[in-house]
Chain A
Amino acid sequence: MTVLLYLVPAALSLGLLGLAAFMWSLRTGQYDDLDGAAVRVLSDDDLHDDDARDPRPHGAGRR
C-alpha cells in the first residue's frame, strides 16, 4: 500500500490546482460576461490587425 503515499498527495494537489485555477479565473473577472465570451471567440479581428481602424461599417468590412 506504499503506492498511496504518493498517489493520494498527487490526487489532492491536482484538486487544489483546479481550485486555485477557478479562484484565479473568478478574480480576473472571467465570469462577468459569459454571453460575451461565447461570441467574442468568433470575432476574427485578430486576423485583420491592419484594417482595425477601417472606416467602412464593420459588418461590411469583416465578412
Chain B
Amino acid sequence: MATGAQMRAPGFGLPAREVVAREAAAREARAARAGAAIADAGAQPGAQDLSLFLHEAPGGQVEMAFAIEGIDCAACIDEIEDAAEAEPGVAQARLNYTTHRLTVAWAAGAEPGPAGVMAALAGRGYRAYPFEADRVEESERGASRHLLRCLAVAGFAAMNIMLLSVSVWSGNLSDITPETRDLFHWLSALIALPAAAYAGQPFYQSAFRALKARSLNMDVPITLGVMLALGVSVFETLNHARDAYFDSAVMLLFFLLTGRYLDQAMRRRTRAEAGNLAALRATSANRIGADGSLVTVPAAAVKPGDEVMVRAGERVPVDGRVLSGTGAVDESLVTGETLPRTFAAGETVHAGALVQDGALRLIATAVGEDTFLQEIERLLDRGATARGRYVRLADRAARLYAPMVHTTAALSLAGWLIAGASLHQAVLIAVAVLIITCPCALALAVPAVQVVAAGALMRRGVLLNSGDALERLAEADAVAFDKTGTLTLPEPAIANRDAVPADLMAAAGRLAHASTHPLARAIAAAAPDAAPAEEVREVAGLGIEGMVGGETARLGSPAFCGFDEQDTKGASGTSHVAVSLGERRALIEIRQALRPDAGAVVEALRRAGRHIVILSGDRREAVAPVAAALRVEDWWGGARPAEKIAVLESLEAGGRNVLMVGDGINDAPSLASAHVSISPITAADVARAQADAVFLGERLAPVAAALAVAGKARALMRQNLAIAVMYNAVAVPLAIAGAVTPLVAALAMSGSSLLVTLNALRARRAAGPEMAVFEAATFEAPASGPPGRTREDAR
C-alpha cells in the first residue's frame, strides 16, 4: 500500500537506468512471493466457494472485485489485466491503480472462475483478495459525486456571473447605460438562481436538519446569507439599482463547496484504504458441507448453525461452540492472555483466537451468545454514546459564531433605521453584513488542514477513521497502551537466539518449515531461506522429526527431545521448544517480543509530557517485566474490559484526555470510550472498527508521529480560525458602515480563503521529540510491515 503511494509516478525525475533497476528489483521480489504463493496454495483444500462476492452487472455479465497486494509500478497494470483476461470466460479486467482494486467481468453465460483469476495473479506474484465495498463506502462515493457536481455548477455560475459583474463594476465608473446594466443583472439572475438552487442543496438540507433538531450549525447562516443575498439582488434588479450581489452569493457557495469536498475526499480516501486492508486480512473458513466435504468460504458467508473445521495454525473465523476435538488455543487477540488454553467439546471459542495444535469442529453461533461477548457489546454501546458528546472545533466555532452573525446583522438593520436611513438602505447594509461575515474562511479553515494533515499521516503509515480524530488526538495528554499485540509484536519470536548453537538453530529452522504450529512458525520466520528438512514426519502432540545432514533431528516439546520437566522452568510468558540433532539438544525460548522501538517511543511520549499507563488483560506476572523494561509506573494486569474502562474513566476524571492504543477484542470497549484511540492494523476487526486511527507496520513510531502531526494540525486550525476572525474584525465594521460594495466583498472573500488554504499547507511539517523518534525509525526500516506477515494473517 505505502509503496504504491510513494512510487506513484515511477520514472519521473529519475535516471532511466535507476528506473530499470528498481523495476527489476520489484520483479524479483514478486517472483519470490509467487513461489511462496504457490507453496501456500498447495496447502489449501481444493474446493473454494466465492459466490458471495459475485454480482450481476448490466448486460448479463458477472462481476467481482479484488483488492490486489503487491502493485509497485506502472507496468503492473498491464501485467495484472492481461493475466486476468487470459483466464477462460473473462470479458474484461480493469485495474484501478489509485485504490489497488481490480474488477473482473465474466462474459454472459460463461462460468465465473474467481479462484482461477486469483491463482493466475498469484503465479505472477500478486495476491488478490475477494473484495466487497461496504455500504458506507458506497454511500460516501455517491455523496462525493454529488458534491463534485454541485461544485462544478457553482464554479460555472461564479465564473460567468463574475464576467458580467466585472463589466458592470467597470461600466459604473465609465459610461454604461442603465439599460445595459439591467440586462447584465437579469442575465446574472438567470444564471445565479438555478445554480444556487442546485449547488446549495448540501447546505440547505443540513441547515434544515439542524433547525428541525432545534440547534444551529454553520449551515444556517450560510443558507440565510445566500437566500437573502439572492432575494435582495432580485429586488434591486427590479428597481434598476446600481449594484447586485449575485456574484457574492454564488462565489460563497463555490468556496464553501470546495471546503466540503476536501473534507469528504479525505475521509473517502481513508475508507478505501481501510477497505483494502480489511479485504487483505479477511479470514476464510472451512465449512463442512452436508456430505462431509470441506469447502473454503469467506468467513462472512458462514451462518449460525453451520459447522466449521479449524486446524492447527488457523484462526477461528467465527464465534462458535466446540462440537468435537480438543486443541490448545491462543486467545491473546481476544483477551490479551498469552498463555494458551485447552478447549474441549461444549466450550465457546471466539473469532480471532489462534488454534496452536489439535483440530476443532465448531458449530457457529450468533454474535453475543455468551457472556464475554455480551459484556463487550454492552460496553461498546455505552462507549459509543459517550463519544457522541464530543463537539468538533469547527462546530464549537459555529455555535459561537452563528448567533453573533445574526445579532450583528439585526443590530445594524435596527441601527441604520434609527439613524434615519430608509428601510431599503438599511436592509441592503444588513445583507452586506451577512454576506461579509458568512464563514467562508471559517468553513475552509478546518477541512483544509485536515486534508493536508491526513495526507502527511498516510505517508507515515497512519490511517484516520474519523474526521475529528486529529482534534481529539491533539488534546490527548495521557496514553494507555495494551500490552499483547500493541506494545509487543502480534507474533511471538525467538528470545534466546544467541544461546542456541548455530547448527542446532539451522536444523530447527529447516524442520520448522514443515510444520504449521504457531511456535514453529516463529522459528521458521527467523530462518526464512532454510530448505525444509527431508523425510519429515509429524508425531501428534509432540513435535516433528526429520533428517538434517544425515542425522535424525527433532523439534517439539522438551520431553520429545529428552529434556526433564525441571530444565524447562523459566520466566513466565515464555514458551519452550526443544530441538535435538543426533545426541545434542538445546532449548529455544519463544515469547512475545516488544516492538523494536517501543522503548524509544514510550520515552519520547514521556518527554513530550504525556502520562503513560499500561492496561493489559494478561496475567500480572507477564505484564510486570514489560512495564519495568519501559519504565512505566502505572500499570494494570489481568484487567477485564470493564476494568479497563474504569481505569480510563478515573484518568479522565483526573482531568486527562486519554489516547488508548490497543488491538484485542477485549480492548474494543475501551477504544470506543477513550477520548481518542489507535489500533495496529493487525488488530481484531471489532477493535479496528472502534479505533479513530489505524497504524501499519511493526513499529510503534507511527503512534508518536500521529500525536505530533495532530498537535501541529490543531495549532494550524486555531491559527486559521484566528485569521478568519481577524478578517471579520476588519470587514464587519466596513460593512456596518455601509462601505462594502460587491467588489470589496468579492476581494475580501477570496483573499481570506486563499490565506487560510496556504496556511493549511504547513501541516505537512511537524517537529518535536515525537516526530524525531519517528524519523529515527524510518531511516532503519520502511513504515509498512514485511509482506510475509500479511500473508500469514490472510489465511
> Which A residues are closer than 8 A to B by beta carbons?
1, 4, 8, 11-12, 15-16, 18-19, 22-23, 26, 31-36, 38-40, 42-43, 45, 52-53, 57-59, 62-63
Judged by a CB distance under 8 angstroms, whether B153 is at the interface is yes
Give the segment of B156-164, B208-216, B229-237, B283-291 that binds chain A. B156-164
B82 touches A4 (CB 8 A): no
Q: Is the interface of B mostly helix, strand, loop or mixed?
A: helix
Q: Verify A32–B27 contact, CB threshold 8 A.
A: no
Across the interface, which residues of A come within 8 angstroms of B159, CB to CB?
Answer: 15
B644 CB, nearest partner CB in chain A, Å: 41
* Residues in B141-186 with C-beta less than 8 Å from chain A: 145, 148-149, 152-153, 156, 159-160, 163-164, 177, 180, 183
CB-nearest residue of chain A to B11: A42
**Distance A39 CA – B180 CA, assembled complex (angstroms):** 50
A8 to chain B minimum Cβ distance, whole angstroms, is: 7
Contact A26 B149 (CB under 8 A): yes
Q: CB-nearest residue of chain B relative to A38?
A: B9
Instruction: State A32–B27 Cα separation when bound (angstroms).
Output: 27
* Interface size band for B: 35 or more
Docked-complex contact B149 and A36, CB < 8 angstroms: no
Residue ID in chain B nearest A54 by CB atoms: B82
Instruction: Indicate if the CB atoms of B99 and A23 lie closer than 8 Å.
Output: no
**B772: chain A residues within 8 A (beta carbon):** none
A/B pair count, beta carbons within 8 Å = 76
Q: Is the CB of B77 within 8 A of A35?
A: no
The 8 A-B residue pairs with the shortest CB-CB distance, nearest first, are A36-B97, A39-B74, A35-B98, A19-B156, A33-B96, A58-B79, A33-B98, A35-B97
* Pairwise interchain contact A8-B75, C-beta atoms closer than 8 A: no
Which residues in chain B, 65-79, are within 8 Å of chain A measured between CB atoms?
Answer: 74-75, 77-79
B597 within 8 A of partner (CB): no
> Which residue from B9, B149, B152, B160 sits with its C-beta under 8 Å from A39?
B9
The answer to whether A22 and B180 touch (CB under 8 A), given A33-B99, A59-B23, is no
Question: Could you give, for residues 54-98 of chain B, a 1 whenever the CB lies within 8 Å of some chain A CB and a 0 otherwise?
Answer: 000000000000000000001101110010001000000001111
CB neighbours of B99 from chain A (8 A): 33
A-B contact pairs, 28 of them (CB 8 A): A1-B177, A1-B180, A4-B180, A8-B187, A12-B187, A16-B156, A19-B152, A19-B156, A22-B152, A23-B149, A23-B152, A26-B149, A26-B152, A32-B96, A33-B98, A36-B97, A38-B8, A38-B9, A39-B74, A39-B97, A40-B77, A43-B78, A45-B78, A53-B86, A57-B27, A58-B78, A59-B24, A62-B75
Q: Is the CB of A11 within 8 A of B148?
A: no
Q: CB within 8 A of A31: which of B24, B78, B148, B163?
A: B148
With A43-B78, A59-B23 known, 13 other A-B pairs at CB within 8 A are A11-B163, A15-B159, A16-B156, A19-B153, A33-B98, A36-B97, A38-B8, A38-B9, A39-B74, A40-B74, A58-B75, A62-B75, A62-B78
Taking the closest CB of chain A, its distance from the CB of B415, in whole angstroms, is 40
Report the Cα distance A53→B81, complex, angstroms: 11
Contact partners of A12 in chain B: CB under 8 A: 160, 187, 191
Asked if residues B160 and A15 are in contact (CB atoms below 8 Å), the reply is yes
Decide if the interface of chain A is mainly helix, strand, loop or mixed: helix
A4–B183 alpha-carbon span in the complex (Å): 10
- Bound form: Cα–Cα A6–B152 in Å: 25
Taking the closest CB of chain A, its distance from the CB of B140, in whole angstroms, is 14
Q: Which residue of B lies closest to A63 (CB)?
A: B20
Q: Are B78 and A35 in contact (CB under 8 A)?
A: no
Q: How far is the CA of A45 from the CA of B77 in the complex (A)?
A: 11
Q: A8-B187, A43-B78 are in contact. Are A36 and B156 (CB under 8 A)?
A: no
- Could you tell me the distance in whole angstroms from the C-beta of B76 to the nearest C-beta in chain A? 9
Residues of B within 8 A of A53 (CB): 82, 86
Residue from A42, A45, A53, A59 having most chain B Cβ neighbours under 10 A: A59
B82: A residues at CB distance < 8 A: 52-53, 58
Give the residues in chain A near B95, CB-CB below 8 Å. Answer: 36
User: For residue A59, which residue of chain B has the nearest CB?
Assistant: B75
| A18 proximity list for chain B (CB < 8 A) | 156
Q: Are A59 and B79 in contact (CB under 8 A)?
A: yes
- Give the Cβ gap from B649 to chain A, nearest Cβ, in Å: 45
B23 and A43 form a contact (CB under 8 A): no
User: Which residues of chain A have C-beta atoms less than 8 A from B160's C-beta?
Assistant: 11-12, 15
Q: Contacts A36-B96, A36-B98: A26 and B180 contacting too (C-beta < 8 A)?
A: no
Complex Cα spacing A18 to B180, Å = 26
CB-CB under 8 A from B23, the residues of chain A are: 59
The answer to whether B8 and A35 touch across the interface, beta carbons within 8 angstroms, is yes
> A43 — which chain B residues lie within 8 A by C-beta?
74-75, 77-78
Chain B proximity of A37: nearest CB distance (Å): 8
Q: A22-B152, A26-B149, A39-B74 are in contact. Are A33 and B79 (CB under 8 A)?
A: no
In the complex, residue of chain A having the shortest beta-carbon distance to the beta carbon of B101: A33
User: Are B153 and A36 in contact (CB-based, < 8 A)?
Assistant: no
Evaluate whether A26 and B97 lie within 8 angstroms (CB atoms) in the complex, with A19-B153, A36-B77 already known: no
Q: How far is the CB of A58 from chain B (nearest CB, A)?
A: 5
- Give the distance in Å from the alpha carbon of A31 to the alpha carbon of B145 in the complex: 10
- B20-72, CB < 8 A from A: 20, 23-24, 27
**Alpha-carbon distance between A8 and B161 when the two chains are bound, in angstroms:** 11
B4: nearest chain-A partner, CB-CB: A35
